[in-house]
Amino acid sequence: MSGMRTTFRACGLTAGVLAISIACPAAMAQATAPPQNCARADFEAVVDEAAGSLRDLNQSNKPSFQEKLRLLKDKRAWSHEQFLKAAAPFVQDDKIREFERSSNDLLDKITAMGQEGSTAKAPDCKLLAELHDNMKALVDAQQAKWSYMFAKLDAELSK
């Protein structure tokens, strides 16, 4: 599990505002009751499933968001330099920074829990359920961030 944080970073979770995109996969949609039997591989499977979902969803949201930014640039007839300055509030403000802080805190918890679960002598199924719930919280936080960013941009485009 030592590569778990790297896996999530590769999915775009902390690589930059425009690289973040997630929706709650059906398998992670509800709080998880601890399974009665679990194995070390189950910890890695939870992480791998979420990483794949994050990667796929990032690839679907990022182009749409960037296209809307381009539309705004064209609508306002901004030069490249004007665009860089004027577009900043759509990708970085106090609320977005809070989403990022929350996501990074969850990533730290997930990494620690995953490492603990994968190296324990006997798998802790309660810890696996907590890991799954933290993954869901991470997905929810990132979806809320995307929704917020799209809403800000859509409001500006409608002016």
Q: Give the residue extent of every domain in the chain.
A: 38-157
Question: Using CB atoms within 10 A of its CB, is residue 128 exposed (0-12), middle (13-18) or buried (19+)?
Answer: buried
Residue 39: its pLDDT value, please?
83
Residue 21: its pLDDT value, please?
34
d(CA 159, CA 157): 6
Sign of the Cα pseudo-torsion (85, 90, 96, 100, in order)? negative
20 three-class SS: coil
pLDDT tens per residue, range 5-36: 444 443 444 333 333 333 333 334 445 677 77
How many contiguous H segments (helices) and E segments (strands) does the chain have?
Answer: 5, 0
Residue 5: its pLDDT value, please?
43
Question: Considering the entire predicted model, what is its pTM?
Answer: 0.74
Residue 2: its pLDDT value, please?
43
- In angstroms, the Cα distances linking 44 to 5, 78, 82, 103, 104 are 12, 46, 45, 19, 19
What is the Cβ-side half-sphere exposure of residue 77, based on CA atoms within 13 angstroms? Answer: 0
Q: With a cut of 50, which residues of the chain have pLDDT below it?
A: 1-30
Average model confidence (pLDDT) across the chain:
78
Residue 24: its pLDDT value, please?
35
